Amino acid sequence: MISLPSASTVLDSMLFKDSFGTPAMRAVFSDQRAMQHCMDVEVALASAQAKCGVIPYEAAQAIAARCKLDTLDWERMKLETEVVGYPILPLVHQLVAMCGDAGRYVHWGATTQDIMDSALVLQLREAIQLLEHDLHRVRRALQRLASEHRDTLMAGRTHLQQALPVTFGLKVSIWLGMLDRHQQRLRELKPRLFVGQFAGAAGTLASLGNKGLMVQEALMLELGLGVPITPWHVARDNLAEVVNWLGLLTGSLGKIAMDVILMASTEVAELAEPFVKGRGASSTMPQKRNPISSELMLASAKAVRQHAGLMLDAMVQDLERATGPWHAEWIAIPQSFMLSAGALHQAVFMLEGLEVDAKRMRQNLDLTQGLIVAEAVMMGLAPYLGRQQAHDLVYEACRACQTQGGMLFDHLYAQAIIRETLSEAQCLALTDPGQYLGCTAEMVDCALAYSRALDG
Q: Could you give the CA distance from residue 145 to residue 160 in angstroms, rounded to a whole number?
A: 23
Residue among 161, 201, 205 at smallest CA distance from 52:
205
Q: Could you give the CA distance from residue 57 to residue 280 in angstroms, rounded to a whole number?
A: 61
- Give first-to-last CA distance, the chain, whole Å: 53
Q: Could you give the CA distance from residue 294 to residue 415 in angstroms, rounded to a whole number?
A: 48
Known catalytic residue at 252: no
Query: What phi-psi label fits residue 179: left (phi over 0), alpha (psi between -120 and 50 degrees) or beta?
Result: alpha
The answer to whether the beta carbons of residues 176 and 146 sit under 8 Å apart is yes
The answer to whether the beta carbons of residues 300 and 250 sit under 8 Å apart is yes
∠ CA(209), CA(212), CA(213), 5° rounding? Answer: 140
CA distances in angstroms from 278 to 31, 164, 171, 273, listed in the order given: 35, 37, 29, 13
Out of 3, 6, 8, 159, the active site residue is 159
Residue among 451, 450, 443, 452 at smallest CA distance from 168:
443
Q: Could you give the CA distance from residue 265 to residue 70 in angstroms, rounded to a whole number?
A: 52
Half-sphere exposure of 127 (CA within 13 A, CB side): 33
Known catalytic residue at 149: no
Helix, strand, coil percentages, rounded to 5, for the chain: 70, 5, 30
Q: Could you give the CA distance from residue 243 to residue 251 in angstroms, rounded to a whole number?
A: 12
Out of 265, 282, 327, 423, the active site residue is 282
Residue among 140, 109, 133 at smallest CA distance from 46:
109
Catalytically active residues are 159, 282
